[in-house]
Every structure is written in structure tokens, then in C-alpha cells.
Amino acid sequence: QVQLVESGGGLVQPGGSLRLSCQASRIGFSINAAAWYRQAPGKERELVADIKRNGITTYADSVKGRFTISRDNANNQETVYLQMNSLRPEDTAVYYCSADGHYYNDREEPVVLRTWGQGTQVTVSS
């Protein structure tokens, strides 16, 4: 089992910044691709940004130039970040991270899975 633990959400004024983090609970879990989604009240969940293992990133048009997705693997523990600058009220939503990856179990067999974070609230308001 691998869980993604999110942090960094909160209340910020328009024009402000927040940095979301999403850390895998299992050391040795290797991420092949990760993404951030968001869901505003009454709206469908939408893809905000994703990052591939080779570092290639894509962004929704609404956040290009303002948001940056990144990842690191310090101490063999994967963390994915979303740096959000120049925030707008329309960025208000619950943000979720997801990751496709694998780890090796006690029998050294690969376990491939997709996992999600619990969501973190981002509110942009004056």
C-alpha cells in the first residue's frame, strides 16, 4: 500500500502564493508519472499539471506561467510539489495529487499502482 500525503493548502489573498506538497508514504515507491488535479464546488475535477519521469511537464491553459510542478526523491522517498503564484479567486478548489508508480514487495516482485492524495483546500480570497 502506498498513500500520498498532501500539505500546504490554506487561505491566501489574490496575487499571493502557495506551495503544495505530496509525499509518498512508502520509501522505495518509484513514481513514473504524477499529477495535480483540482475540483471547485459544483464543478468537475480538472487536471492542473502533470510531470513524467523524464521531467516533461504539461499544464492547463488557465495556470500556465503561474504554476510549476516538480518532484524530488530525497532519501528514496518521492515528493511532488505544486508551486502556485499569482493566485486568483478562480483557483479556489480542493487540490488532489495522484501518482502512477511501483515498488518491490518482500518477495522482490514489482507492485504497480495508481494512488491519490486526500485533497487539500486552497482558498483565494481577500
- Please tell me the predicted confidence (pLDDT) of residue 85: 98
Q: How many CA atoms lie within 13 A of 86 on its CB side?
A: 7
pLDDT cut 90: percent of the chain above it: 96
> What are 29-80's pLDDT values in tens digits?
999 999 999 999 999 999 999 999 999 999 999 999 999 999 999 888 999 9
Mean pLDDT of 100-112: 94
- Please tell me the predicted confidence (pLDDT) of residue 75: 87
Look at residue 1 and tell me whether its pLDDT is greater than 90. no
pLDDT cut 70: percent of the chain above it: 100
Look at residue 89 and tell me whether its pLDDT is greater than 90. yes
**Average pLDDT of the chain, as a whole number:** 96
Show contacts of 39-44: CB within 8 Å, 24+ apart. Answer: 39/93, 39/94, 39/96, 40/90, 40/92, 40/93, 40/94, 43/93
pLDDT band at 99 (very low <50, low <70, confident <90, very high): very high
